[in-house]
A and B are shown apart, each in its own frame.
Chain A
Amino acid sequence: AQKITQTQPGMFVQEKEAVTLDCTYDTSDPSYGLFWYKQPSSGEMIFLIYQGSYDQQNATEGRYSLNFQKARKSANLVISASQLGDSAMYFCAMSYTGTASKLTFGTGTRLQVTL
């Protein structure tokens, strides 16, 4: 069975600083995908970044990058140059590659960006 763990219930970061949100996972399947989603207070789930288990390089999307350490089974999200609009809940999720994206979510981290 898959399991996603996010150990930080809440994080604070000052505007323009970088922040790392932790995510560890557990699976026995060699083929899987890792995702990060942002959920603002409005409730929508916004896709941020994806990392495949066989990807050699860490994924990057604008200010978002994923620090993928396969041996440690971690997939931390790094947000650079934080903005006030980054304040939201952030969820790490995992899927088995090829299963049409049935996702297992972590418990989330609430990020608050301060002035």
Chain B
Amino acid sequence: GAVVSQHPSWVICKSGTSVKIECRSLDFQATTMFWYRQFPKQSLMLMATSNEGSKATYEQGVEKDKFLINHASLTLSTLTVTSAHPEDSSFYICSARDMGTSNSPLHFGNGTRLTVT
């Protein structure tokens, strides 16, 4: 089945630094990927839609300058948390759908747990 790989699985960084998270579709092409954020014991909230070859679409309330998204190829999207602060500590998870298969579900990466100290 379709696999989405996310890296790193966890990262600890100091306040003020930037962190890049990668999301790769391993055996299918994804023109669109999605980035979600999940606080402890809460649901997943969509942050942005990553579009290959064009600008990402951000959900209301998400700072585009803080959460930079780049979808450089049909298999890779990156999320960069710039100038991270402790309140950015969260679980970030990406997802993608195999556009070549009808009715295929959204496949998720294993997530990245970010801790900002």
Question: Which residues of A are at the interface with B, using a C-beta cutoff of 8 A?
Answer: 35, 37, 42-47, 50, 52, 91, 95, 100-108
Instruction: Check B16 for interface membership: any CB of A closer than 8 A.
Output: no
CA of A103 to CA of B32, assembled, Å:
13
Question: Which residues of B are at the interface with A, using a C-beta cutoff of 8 A?
Answer: 31-32, 34, 42-46, 49, 91, 93, 95, 97, 99, 103, 105-111, 113
Q: Are A101 and B46 in contact (CB under 8 A)?
A: no
Kindly provide the distance from the CB of A103 to the nearest chain B CB, expressed in whole angstroms: 6
CA of A107 to CA of B43, assembled, Å:
5
Number of A-B contacts (CB under 8 A): 54
Q: Are A45 and B93 in contact (CB under 8 A)?
A: yes
Q: Are A44 and B110 in contact (CB under 8 A)?
A: yes
CA of A37 to CA of B38, assembled, Å:
14
List A contacts of B99 (CB < 8 A). 100
CA of A16 to CA of B91, assembled, Å:
32
CA of A114 to CA of B88, assembled, Å:
36
Label chain B's interface by main secondary structure.
strand
A-B contact sample (16 more), CB < 8 A, given A103-B44, A105-B45: A37-B108, A42-B110, A43-B91, A43-B93, A43-B110, A43-B111, A45-B93, A47-B106, A52-B103, A100-B31, A100-B99, A101-B95, A102-B46, A103-B95, A105-B44, A108-B43
CA of A45 to CA of B106, assembled, Å:
10
CA of A100 to CA of B91, assembled, Å:
23
Q: Are A50 and B107 in contact (CB under 8 A)?
A: no
List B contacts of A91 (CB < 8 A). 43-44
Q: Are B43 and A105 in contact (CB under 8 A)?
A: yes
CA of A87 to CA of B21, assembled, Å:
29
List A contacts of B91 (CB < 8 A). 43
Q: Are A44 and B46 in contact (CB under 8 A)?
A: no
Residue of B nearest to A36 (CB): B105
Residue of B nearest to A107 (CB): B43
Of the candidates B32, B95, B97, B113, the one whose C-beta lies within 8 Å of that of A45 is B95
